[in-house]
Amino acid sequence: MFGIKNPFKKEKAEKIIDSPSIAQPATTSEITQQANIQVEKPKNNKEIEILIAKIDALKFQYEVLSEKINNIEKMITEIYKIAKESSK
């Protein structure tokens, strides 16, 4: 699917024996397939860069929200202390 070969898969001995020692010229369909793969790589890299940028933005937003929650918790504890002291 992704062009990754299974290293554990055993190839048939017939394929290895029958394969010619001289490389055959590539057909036009093979050349166009290779060209299509080369064209798709930058597109995928751009998509990956966009996703990385979005993740970085989400990390920053998470840090800001976490800081705000910590400040709210501090305010609540202070309000609780003040309410407790005033009820005595």
Kindly list the domain boundaries of the chain, sorted by start residue.
Answer: 29-86
Distance CA 77, CA 70 (A): 11
What pLDDT shows up at residue 29? Answer: 72
Query: In 10 A of CB 53, how many CB atoms?
Result: 10
Q: What is the chain's mean pLDDT, rounded?
A: 76
What pLDDT shows up at residue 58? Answer: 94
What pLDDT shows up at residue 26? Answer: 61
| Residue 2 or residue 37, greater confidence | 37
Section 11-33 average pLDDT? 57
**pLDDT, tens digit, for every residue of 29-62?**
776 666 666 655 556 888 889 999 999 999 999 9
